[in-house]
Structure 1
Amino acid sequence: MILKSGQSAVVPRPCSGDFDLDRSDGPAVALRVDFADYENEVPQHRHRPGQLILALHGAVICTAANGLWIIPPGFAVWIPGGVPHSNQVTPNARLSYLFVEPGAVAMPQSCCALSVSPMLREMILRLADVPDRYASDDHIGRLVRVLLDELALMPSGGLELPVSDHPKIAVIGAALAADPSDRRTLREWAMHVAMSERSLKRLIRQETGLTFGQWRQRLHLIVALRELASGATVQKVSGDLGYESATAFIVMFKKALGTTPGRYFASQF
């Protein structure tokens, strides 16, 4: 899978079906997970409630349906109930999970990234610190009602990489994930997968909605955000991605995300 990193896949209790999602009678339940205590890759799984994965520190990469999302601090990914997904986190990641009962709040029916307000973040953390069983009319029940109202108002955010199971694109994606500094042109990739350049150009646009250059840049940004969130320097990340200088990388980053890497992460805390 794209962007595989860290330790081998072991299902940690708080992130998988071993965690009892039915232990609360309320419409939502939350918990915190510090991945210093667990393996940092959660294989594909699904669960009945919808799930919001909120990054508190570090970053998480969620793969589901036909997309891949990078979630740095201040953002979250929404996964509707029943959707298969897998998560990969940086070793320093601290996350909060919010599980929401079906029908408890009007949320998108497909996976999406959301920008999370400081108030919603604090409400989720508060819910994670209280007993899972609560009455609808007690303090926590009222908190949950406001929390879900706020959740429905959160704007989209984060960074998504459209993925495709088409074998030609999968070959290119796997190669770029293994070596993000690979600078082969579209013509060279077309020769590699035995297609004409025009046909490959059309296929990539059809499968991802992006041009090849946009798609590769999006992958670079996802790799960069993951590594920067885990503590890597701009100099190391720019070198790993094949940029001639850190300045060239910062220019690309600012053009794509509207700010420099340092300011981007400073604004999330």
Structure 2
Amino acid sequence: MNTDATPRVTVVIAVHNRAQELPTAMASVFAQTTPHWRLLVVDDGSTDESAEVARRHQYDERVHVLSLRANVGLGNALQAALEHIHTPYFVTLDSDDWFAPTALEELLAAMDASSPDAVLVSANAQHWREEGSRLVRDHVLFGRPFADKFDFFRYGPYLVPRFYRTEAVRRVGGFERDPAGQGRVYEDKLILLKLAAVGRFLHVDRVLYHVRLHSANLTRPEERARLNAIKKAMYERMMREWGNPYEIVWKTHPEGWLDVADLVPRASAGAQDRRTH
């Protein structure tokens, strides 16, 4: 590990109306086993006290607050943050989630032990569900490494934490305001698909991230058709940009979510269609 006191990672928390949950997220950054970090809180046009909560911590010179005048959505808020990141790495933390104490230390160690073509590190995530005023332990999401960009393309679950090489994110154009999601939906999938085309994803097989499950982060059934259409357009766009070597075979889960079932080489796509209908 590099023991230099100069911060090498910026933690980015984009927050919109999460004044109650934000202190837990921020506290988990202060509790890290390495003290050499910057924290950038982006207030995405909150109408509650989220910005004030963040500013209370500016007594620490490692903490910075960027306030956006209007709510622009997570992807657009992260793109605004990118201009203020001056460290070789950054990691995103949702404003209602929190890190394990060793998260930054272990993610940095994984990058340090790898080659420069590593552009992202993720880990495993413990989920917690709200039961009244208590948080109850739920399932663990286990991530994995990927053989190539098409292996990741097939992967359905999300990746957390997302620990980025800053230069690589800038190289692929950052968190764009894409035509499908408008920077508000699937911004995480889009940046990861773009990064998968230029470098390797690493995985630390440890629980380094904690996810809070509550009604606000559960999508309403009536929204699923719209979100599925956005995801389909985004994935088809990326496949075209990669030269369209595969036909995407889609599947719909029982709960209504659209996902990639398979990738069929173009020459045999017609035969696959005949077998599945």
TM-score, structure 2 length as denominator? 0.27
Higher strand share: 2
Higher helix share: 1
TM-score, structure 1 length as denominator? 0.28
